[in-house]
Structure 1
Amino acid sequence: MLEFLLPLSFLIFCILILSVVWRVNARKYISSGTVASAYDAWTQDKLLERLWGEHIHLGFYASGGGDVDFREAKIQFVHKLVKWSGLDKLPKGSRILDVGCGIGGSSRILAKYYGFNVTGITISPAQVKRARELTPSGINCNFQVMDALDLKFEDGSFDAVWSVEAGAHMNNKTKFADEMLRTLRPGGYLALADWNSRDLRAYPPTFFEKLVLNQLLEQWVHPNFISINEFSNILRTNKYSSGKVISGNWNTYTNPSWYDSIIEGFRRPLVILSLGPLAILKSIREIPTILLMNWAFRKGLMEFGVYKCRG
Structure 2
Amino acid sequence: PSLEQVILPVRDGVSFIRLRPASLSVPAAPAGAPEGCVRLRHASGATCDVSVYAAHVLSWCLPGAGEQLFLSSKAILGTPGAAIRGGVPICWPQFGTFETAKDPPRMKHGFVRQSGSWRVCEVTEDSVSLRLTSDAETLKKWPAEFEFIYTVSLAAKSMILKMEVTNIGKEGFEFTGCLHTYFRCEACTDCAVEGLKGEKVDIGIGDLFRGTEVEHLDQVTFDGTSEIQRLYGGTADAITLKDGGRKRFRLLKMNMPDWVLWNIGDANEHTLKDLGDGEQRKYVCVEPGFATVPQRVAAGSTWCGLHEVRAL
- Fold conserved (TM > 0.5)? no
TM-score (norm 2): 0.33
More helix by share: 1
More strand by share: 2
TM-score (norm 1): 0.33
